[in-house]
């Protein structure tokens, strides 16, 4: 659930470990993202698979205000998430070191390759400056699609 949420919402590791249940609206299928680095906060919709996974977590760890917790119900730390992603990359036999920020970048590239406009990606990722967002769209071949049709 952690990896899916970080990817789908382009979360920084600190944004993910700081997520609390009061930021989730199960009735509206949405989650409020408090962005770091002076980023713009936003409310994102949650897909069905995310809703099911979050409801499962809520049942398992009902006593914690944090969404992502350790087995002892304490909040996850940045270090724990870094180790989790590093180990997952090794287990998946990925040939380069894996780190959490790759999920945020993957979100940006995914949206750009779907043809989502740069301003929308900027808002979705909470970038204050569009120059941070442009790196995703510069590499997307989608911008050339249909030029000759």
Q: What is the pLDDT of residues 19-31, one digit of tens each?
A: 999 999 999 999 9
The answer to whether the beta carbons of residues 107 and 122 sit under 8 Å apart is no
- 136 assigned to active site: yes
List the end-to-end C-alpha distance of the chain, in Å, as a whole number.
41
Catalytic pick among 8, 9, 124, 136: 136
Catalytic pick among 8, 9, 12, 124: 12
Catalytic pick among 101, 105, 132, 143: 101
The answer to whether the beta carbons of residues 137 and 127 sit under 8 Å apart is no
- 104 assigned to active site: yes
The residues, ordered by sequence, that sit 6+ positions from 35 with a Cβ below 8 Å of its Cβ are 15, 41, 42, 126
pTM: 0.88
- 127 assigned to active site: yes
Q: What is the mean pLDDT of the chain?
A: 90
**Alpha helices (H) in 45-129, listed in sequence order:** 48-60, 78-91, 101-113, 118-125
Domains of the chain: residue spans and CATH: 2-144 (1.10.443.10)
């Amino acid at each position: 659930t952690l990896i899916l949420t970080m990817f789908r919402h382009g979360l920084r590791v600190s944004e993910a470990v700081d997520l609390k249940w009061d930021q989730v609206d199960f009735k509206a299928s949405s989650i409020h993202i408090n962005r770091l680095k002076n980023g713009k906060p936003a409310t994102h919709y949650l897909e069905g698979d995310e809703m099911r996974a979050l409801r499962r977590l809520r049942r398992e760890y009902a006593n914690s205000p944090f969404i992502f917790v350790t087995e002892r119900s304490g909040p996850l730390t940045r270090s724990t998430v870094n180790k989790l992603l590093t180990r997952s990359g090794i287990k998946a036999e990925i040939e380069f070191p894996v780190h959490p920020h790759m999920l945020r970048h993957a979100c940006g590239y995914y949206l750009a390759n779907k043809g989502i406009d740069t301003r929308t990606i900027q808002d979705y990722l909470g970038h204050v400056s569009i120059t941070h967002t442009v790196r995703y769209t510069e590499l997307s071949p989608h911008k050339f699609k249909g030029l000759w049709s």
